Amino acid sequence: MRTVTGLFDDYTDARSAVSALEASGVASKDISIVSNAAAGRDAAQSGAATGAESGAGLGAVVGGTGGLLTGLGIMAIPGVGPVVAAGWLAATAVGALAGAAAGGAAGGIIGALTGSGVSEQDANLYAEGVRRGGSLVTARVDETLAPEAEAILKRSNWVDPIERRAAYNKEGWTTFDDTLDPYAPEQIEEERVRYRRPPIV
């Protein structure tokens, strides 16, 4: 199995990527989504955040159209704040938080990513991307299906990790720090404006 991962600035793009992965035959149990709840207005409007717990637990709630997206819940990650999440990566983070100190969930996400083959450098970038309002989609796929899964993520408007790391590094960022305060909604909107791509015509 191989892990393919995509960071998205917009929750709707991440949601489309999940649906496209499921439509291509990737099992829902092998896909995960973690989205900053402050930026995931679409998730909240779809009902994903309604009635969910905001603590360590991942409360299953209905949201989205089917498959993985029907199991969205909300949990808190130190340094990130509340996230809307579902899938194996989220379950790992919940387990880490239940059995560890405050940094457990963030360490759980980074640990789950690195444990499944994502480099530590990329795992930290992805955690920082979620902190800044992004959404992370991760799929475990057979090696032969990895190129198709990566193509799906790219077509869904994923963030180029090399470009984004360079942009973050230019600001002085080096690694995800779970002791920092989560981004406020206005800071997340500033990030979105900074990286928003012009519409394709």
Give pLDDT tens digits for 77-97: 777 888 888 888 777 655 544
Residue 67 is predicted with a pLDDT of 66
Classify residue 171 by burial, with Cβ atoms within 10 Å: 0-12, 13-18, 19+. Answer: exposed
Alpha-carbon distance of 175 to 188, in angstroms, equals 18
Residue 167, pLDDT score: 95
Work out the angle between the directed axes of helices 146-155 and 11-23 (0-180°, nearest 10): 150
- Give the pLDDT of residue 79: 77
**DSSP H/E element including 125:** helix 120-131
What's residue 93's pLDDT? 58
- Is the predicted pLDDT of residue 11 greater than 50, yes or no? yes
Pairing relationship of beta strands 73-77 and 81-87 according to DSSP bridges: antiparallel
Tokens at 18, concatenated: 């999940």
Determine the pLDDT at residue 85.
84
pLDDT of residue 26: 93
Per-residue pLDDT tens over the stretch 35-90: 998 765 554 444 444 333 333 333 333 333 456 665 677 877 777 888 888 888 77
Specify the pLDDT at position 103: 45
pLDDT average, residue stretch 102-125: 76
What's the pLDDT at 84?
A: 86
Q: In which band, very low, low, confident or very high, does the pLDDT at 141 lie, cut at 50, 70 and 90?
A: very high
| Average pLDDT of the residues in 10-25 | 94
Q: What is the pTM of this model?
A: 0.80
